[in-house]
Structure 1
Amino acid sequence: MSQGEARPASESVGTVIVAGAANLAIAIAKLIAGVISGSAAMLSEAAHSVADTTTEVLLYQALRRGARPADQRRPFGYGKENYVWAFFAAMFTFVAGAGFAVTHGVTTILVHEHSGDYLVSYIVLAVSFVIESISLARALRQVRSESRRWRTTPRRFLRLTADTTVKAVFLEDSAALIGLLLAGAGVGLSHATGDEVWDGVASILIGLLLLTVAGILAANNLSLLVGRAVPERVRHEIEQELTGLPEVERIDTLMTMQLGPDDILVAAKVDFSDEATGAAIEATADEAERRLTERYPEIRYVFLDPTRSLPGATGRARHTQAAPDPRSDDRPDRP
């Protein structure tokens, strides 16, 4: 068994702090602009930034609590707490951000009045776009760095990663830029036409955008809380490493689980050679641990069960993970 001490990912912490500071400053500016201009889209964007700021606080809490080392009560560590707090963050975005934006947009369409100046909205939107772009650029750098380390594409890394913090920050910053464009379009059309319905429509669209992001993050965190296996390509490489060990005839069962963003458990029923001695099996188990942790430092626990194969079993390994859909990009022969 391999067990390393849990630790917060410093790059993820930095990404969360930068995003949180940016969102807090933007939220205050948007709120002031929304109150002065009376724009529903601006107030919805303020709610959007408040939701994002609260999300960053919850994600920071997730990183801090999830990084606690394993103890007697939690022998596999606290990694799954990352997903609990990240799920709370997604729910807050769903309720506070999206709920306010949709409700206020509908109210604006029904009341149909504007009470302030447009200029301040344009200024705040432009400044906010620059700040959000800086925050997104940092998140994107981390995504590209992590995807290179896992030898995959940034898009596929975002889809399959167990690091919910970087995924949340990237999606929220992307949604923030889209929301700013929607708010700008709504304010501009209302200014040009004198019809506040466009401002209300923009507010509703911002709310729907937040609903989409919250739904994606909530579903991702739920799957990790339930217990998700590693991606198929990684599982395939783990199997290859194990079957390439001396004294190993085949792998009868291979199970993996993401215990946290940087914690992977590997358990396998291994059919060793009939001639293998106890000492040889121990040496092979040590070599398995060395190879797997060298290739994937995130693998913290390795359990090998030297169980003979069942009567009538063939040479093909039996896995608890389903074979990948041939139409998907999650195949062993793809990066």
Structure 2
Amino acid sequence: MADPDGTSESLLTVVVAGVANLAIALAKLFAGMISGSSAMLSEGAHSIADTTTEVLLFTALRRGSRPADPEHPFGYGKESYVWAFIAAVFTFVVGAGFSITHGVNTIRSGEHTGQFLVAYVVLAISFLIESVSLTRAVRQLRRAARQRRTRLAPFLRSTADTTVKAVFLEDTAALIGITLAAAGLALSELTGTEVWDGLASILIGLLLLVVATILARSNISLLVGRAVPPPMHDEIHRELSAVPSVERVDTLLTMHLGPDDILVAAKVDFRDEATGADIEAGAEEAERRLVARFPHVQYVFLDPTRSRRR
């Protein structure tokens, strides 16, 4: 089952990001229409894509946290990856596609009204709002990384919570995109040519393309059935091997069933002198060890078997 506290925190992070992106999108589109800036309109499309993404991520969290039932005995955690994948595709098609196309058209025949001040003000305000959203996402990621006893960067690469990962990457991309838009506007104002504005729009589109690709690949991997990271796999192996009645762990398989659910299955060779009661007690102790060490481990299945090494 999903971790209620973790899910609630991710929901709040997504809601904060969604509200921020909606306000920013409206401001950017207004500034883009007033100024005629291709980069500003691309940033508006960027924020609209991010807002829609947050709605899809909210749906992912809500539907993925439903409890298990007879038809879905392991719960609905993997459904969250379906919605997160759709969000990544939306960012790819709408955000990146619009930005690159509009940037190319601007370079070819773009015109600018010269209302630079409005665009600069909106970009500055957007930068502050996006910074607040990113700060919250970073705080959540750091707390989760500390719980897993790892650093932020490795945790971000391996986390199965693709919703907060998406918020982090999108907010980071938003700050970079705002910087690119401001640079494009400034260079266009200084040189009097729209090439820089159009080029900034294209770069924003490419940035969105990179983010969408990273998120899509991550969600596909989790949908297929990704194992836990190697360091965690090794720790699970050590915990199982430390059970007194266990002689050897021959096969260890793990899989993420959702952002907060991990399945562990293992073929375990118990000691020859272990009785049926010893094996039962050893299996219970193994599960207690794993759940105490890794709270996200929800299912533990041990298969007593004679070691193939004998």
* TM-score (normalizing by structure 2): 0.98
- Equivalent position amino acid for 1:219 in 2: R
Q: Structure 1: any 5+ residue segments left out of the alignment?
A: 315-335
CA-to-aligned-CA distance 1:21-56 (integer Å, 9 cap, x gap): 000000000000001110000000000000000010
228, 234, 238: which one aligns with 1:230: 228
Q: CA deviation at 1:6?
A: 5.9
Listed as ranges, the matches of 1:147-186 within 5 Å are 147-186=145-184
Q: Is the 8 A contact 1:6 1:69 kept in 2?
A: no
- 1:25 aligned residue: 23
Amino acid at match of 1:42: M
Instruction: State whether residues 5 and 70 of structure 1, in contact with CA within 8 Å, keep that contact through their aligned partners in structure 2.
Output: no
1:171-250 aligned within 5 A: 171-250=169-248
In the alignment, residue 128 of structure 1 is paired with which amino acid?
Answer: S
Q: Summarize deviations over 1:85-116 as a string: whole Å, max 9, x none.
A: 00000000000000000000000001132134
Q: 2:42 aligns with which of 41, 44, 48?
A: 44
1:70 partnered with 2:76: no
Give the 5 Å matches for 1:1-335. Answer: 4=1, 7=4, 9-310=7-308, 313=309
Deviation at 1:283, TM superposition (A): 0.7
Give the partner amino acid of 2:303.
D
Work out the CA distance in 2 between the residues paired with 1:228 and 1:39. Answer: 43
- For the residue of structure 2 that corresponds to 1:9, the secondary structure is helix
Distance in 2 separating the partners of 1:157 and 1:165:
14
Distance in 1 (alpha carbons) for counterparts of 2:292 and 2:177: 43
Partners of 1:130 and 1:263 lie apart in 2 by 35
Amino acid at match of 1:38: G
What is the number of equivalent residue pairs in this alignment? 309
Partner of 1:328: none
Q: Distance in 2 between matches of 1:276 and 1:211?
A: 57
Q: Deviations over 1:39-89 (max 9, x none)?
A: 000000000000000010000100000000111111111000111100000
Residue pair 1:112, 1:195 contacting (<8 A) in 2 also: no
Q: Would you say the 8 A contact 1:6–1:68 is kept in 2?
A: no
Structure 1: how far apart are the matches of 2:84 and 2:292? 29
The superposition leaves residues 247-304 of structure 1 with CA deviations (integer Å, 9 ceiling, x where unpaired) of 1100010000011110000000000111111111111111111110011110000000
| Mapped partners of 2:171, 2:112: distance in 1 | 29
C-alpha change, 1:194 and 1:264, in structure 2 (3 Å) is same
CA distance in 1 between counterparts of 2:111 and 2:126 reads 25
Counterparts of 1:158 and 1:49 in 2: how far apart (Å)? 23
Contact 2:252 2:265 in 1 (8 A): yes
TM-score by length of 1: 0.91
Cα deviation, residue 214, structure 1: 0.3
Q: 1:118 offset after TM fit, Å?
A: 1.1
**3-state SS of 1:303 partner:** strand
1:5 CA displacement: 5.9
Q: Distance in 2 between matches of 1:46 and 1:57?
A: 17
Matched letter for residue 181 of structure 2 = A
Unaligned runs of 5+ in 2: none
Q: Match for 2:205: what amino acid?
A: G
Task: Assess if the C-alpha contact under 8 Å between 1:62 and 1:84 holds in 2.
Answer: yes
What is the SS of the residue equivalent to 2:248? strand
Q: Hey, what's the Cα distance between the residues in 2 that align with 1:6 and 1:294?
A: 14
- Whether contact under 8 Å (2:2, 2:259) holds in the other structure is no
Q: CA deviation at 1:9?
A: 1.1
The secondary structure found in structure 2 opposite 1:249 is strand
Distance in 2 (alpha carbons) for counterparts of 1:151 and 1:179:
32
Q: Secondary structure at the match of 1:297?
A: coil
| 1:242 aligned counterpart, secondary structure | helix
Specify the code of the residue in structure 1 equivalent to 2:126. Answer: S
Please tell me whether the aligned partners of residues 2 and 261 of structure 2 are also in contact (alpha carbons under 8 angstroms): no
Give 1:307 deviation, angstroms: 0.9
Opposite residue 200 of structure 2, the aligned amino acid is: A
